Amino acid sequence: MQPMNPTRARIRINGQAIRIEPGVSLMEALVSAGLLLRSDCGGRGRCGKCRVRTTSIVPGALSEPERSELASLSAGLLSNGYRLACCARVGGDVAVEIPEESRLAPEVVQKGLPILFRKWEGLSAQESEKRATRCGFAVDLGTTTIAVYLCDLHTGSIIASTSARNPQAIFGDDVISRISAVRTDSQALPRLQRMAVSAIDWAASALCRHAGIDSSSAGEMVAVGNSTMVHLLLGEDPSSLGVFPYTPQFCEDRRQPAGKVGLSFNPAAHLHTLPLISGYLGADIISAAIAVGLANAPVGTLLVDVGTNGEIICLTDKGLAATSCATGPAFEGAAIRHGMQATSGAVDSVRFNRETGCLDYTVIQRNADRPKPPAGICGSGVITAVAELLRAGILSKSGSYNVGAGSPCLRPGENGVLEFEIVPTNARRNHIPITLTQADVRAVQLAKGALRTGIDLLCRENGLRRPRKILLAGAFGSFINRLDALTIGMFPEMDADAIDVVGNAAGAGAVMALLRPDYIEQARRMATATRVLDLAAHPGFQTTFVESLSF
């Protein structure tokens, strides 16, 4: 990549000039300036939703359209200056317009933790009087999804919350890709940090605007995430996490001015990150464990935080034990062809209709007065679709489509490989059906196989035949159907009633640490006391993983 030369690459938008390093994508440049675009595919050029229009351009200022752009944009759109921001790379001066439908609109939700936080909400008057500032933010910085909660520090309550895709996904779906980027490009670390910071600032601004609060009155922020995400947020080099023995640069909790990492909502605010356990067991699983009260749960209770990096922590008769597994982003919809976040327009559940041989579906609608047509399928929708197709015999235990199933919705896709139509073309504005491809099914198999392997080996190493109870957390944990998860083999055979869906426990723990600083001390004790199981070094890993792939 060429060295940074601010005079050679400039984007003009709304009368504002953004100076950038040549060679970065329009998407990255706009995100770094606080302008977030829709990117349901994680910046891989598949969804076509980050469409922008160039209004002025010097020769050679943008890279030539890639294959994915040519597939998403018609010749007419290309001739009128339209490009996909995630694909077009900037090499000179260019002026762009962002259509309204391409902008990421924050979906602000009141009381963002309805499942878990109800029992914790509300500080006593004595505790509230100790807080010098009115409000603060709790942040769950996930590999795929960033969730931000605006909290009233005087009343001890959540005012509102919002979430967005982590824009760092253009560097890769998983932490290994982002670590590799930092190791091979000296400019990747500050770029990745700017992207996370910009997304958090964007969410903080949207929440304060919605609540009619001056963002400068927010004096505290608690952030959690896996070890790599915390390193990137703080500008610490995560390269050591990518090579054995995967040692983090630090494990302790950190407290510093928000402006030190580039946060602009209030540079003088205090940013506090919770401690890490190890290289692949981060502040997010500690935060989740605090939120569910794991230390006081019955022995044999497993907390499973399902994200791009699956983290599992278990209370054993010898204390806490934990492991992590590379589940990938399929459970959050990001590795799925028509995957998207669990926001308005996302298919979140389906049921097989034996009369039609197709799937009936439901769509998330946050605003009943402004319903949105189906736009994609979120993680819970993917799980229930796979489960229903298994029950109907359309998918085999090996994960292959049954060509003789006789369903009119099972048909060859563009590449001739079978796929199942979930939403037909007549129900969508862009006339492209929402389908579950064979590759989507394989992504689900790999994700659930990794998770199941982690659960089985952690139990085996701690003398448990199976978990006594599973607490299911994560970005999609509020919506997943427990029977569907058991049907596809995500968990060992057990009573569905022994699985509790607790939603975004990591976010809840961050809120608790924001409202009650004594939880930070509890996080320190848990982080140092937890025993870690390294799955990759376990002699039974490969065999257990292969056995876990079948449905």
> What's the pLDDT at 539?
94
Spatial contact of 440 and 448, defined as CB atoms under 8 Å apart = no
Q: Does residue 111 carry a pLDDT above 60?
A: no
Report the distance separating Cα 515 and Cα 68, nearest Å. 46
When pLDDT is cut at 50, 70 and 90, the band that residue 149 belongs to is very high
Radius of gyration of the CA atoms of the chain, in A: 23
> What's the pLDDT at 125?
37
Q: To which residue do tokens 């259509």 refer?
A: 99
When pLDDT is cut at 50, 70 and 90, the band that residue 128 belongs to is very low
User: What are the CA-CA distances from residue 193 to residues 33, 170, 171, 226, 437 (Å)?
Assistant: 13, 13, 12, 14, 34
> What's the pLDDT at 1?
36
When pLDDT is cut at 50, 70 and 90, the band that residue 394 belongs to is very high
Average predicted confidence (pLDDT) for the chain? 88
> What's the pLDDT at 3?
38
Q: What tokens were used for 18?
A: 């953004």
Spatial contact of 379 and 481, defined as CB atoms under 8 Å apart = no
Across the range 333-356, mean pLDDT stands at 87
Look at 104-118, 201-215, 316-330, 438-452 and tell me which has the smallest mean pLDDT: 104-118
When pLDDT is cut at 50, 70 and 90, the band that residue 6 belongs to is very low
Eight-state DSSP code of residue 37: B
HEC secondary structure over 367-427 = CCCCCCCCCEECHHHHHHHHHHHHHCCCECCCCCECCCCCCCCEEECCCCCEEEEEECHHH
The three-class DSSP label of residue 240 is: helix
pTM listed for this prediction: 0.83
Q: How many CA atoms lie within 13 A of 29 on its CB side?
A: 32
Q: How many CA atoms lie within 13 A of 439 on its CB side?
A: 14
Q: To which residue do tokens 């597994």 refer?
A: 325
Q: Could you give phi then psi for residue 472, rounded to 5 degrees?
A: -95, 115
Q: Where in the chain is the domain with CATH 3.10.20.30?
A: 10-102
> What's the pLDDT at 547?
95
Q: Where in the chain is the domain with CATH 3.30.420.480?
A: 117-284
Q: Taking phi first (over 0 means left), then psi (-120 to 50 degrees means alpha), and beta for anything else, what does residue 119 get?
A: alpha
More confident residue, 247 or 309: 247
**pLDDT digits over 446-481, tens only?**
999 999 999 999 999 999 999 999 999 986 656 788
Angle between helix 227-234 and 283-292 (nearest 10)? 120
Report the distance separating Cα 271 and Cα 220, nearest Å. 6
Q: Does residue 335 carry a pLDDT above 90?
A: no
> What's the pLDDT at 429?
59
In 265-373, DSSP assigns E strands to: 270-273, 301-306, 310-316, 319-325, 346-353, 358-363
**pLDDT digits over 250-291, tens only?**
999 999 999 999 999 999 999 999 999 999 999 999 999 999
> What's the pLDDT at 511?
93
More confident residue, 56 or 228: 228
User: Does domain 117-284 correspond to CATH entry 3.90.1150.10?
Assistant: no
CATH class as words, domain 10-102: alpha beta
Report the distance separating Cα 210 and Cα 206, nearest Å. 6
Report the distance separating Cα 256 and Cα 494, nearest Å. 45
Q: Given strand 410-412, what is the order of strands in its sheet?
A: 410-412, 418-423, 434-437
Cis previous bond, 371, omega within 30: no
Helices (H), 82-174: 125-128
Report the distance separating Cα 205 and Cα 442, nearest Å. 39
Look at 69-78, 184-193, 333-342, 451-460 and tell me which has the smallest mean pLDDT: 333-342
Spatial contact of 135 and 213, defined as CB atoms under 8 Å apart = yes
Report the distance separating Cα 309 and Cα 329, nearest Å. 8
Look at 35-49, 111-125, 195-209 and tell me which has the smallest mean pLDDT: 111-125
When pLDDT is cut at 50, 70 and 90, the band that residue 11 belongs to is confident
> What's the pLDDT at 5?
40
Q: What tokens were used for 510?
A: 């961050």
Across the range 43-71, mean pLDDT stands at 84
> What's the pLDDT at 474?
80
Q: Does residue 126 carry a pLDDT above 50?
A: no
CA-closest candidate to residue 305, choices 519, 491, 471: 471
More confident residue, 326 or 258: 258
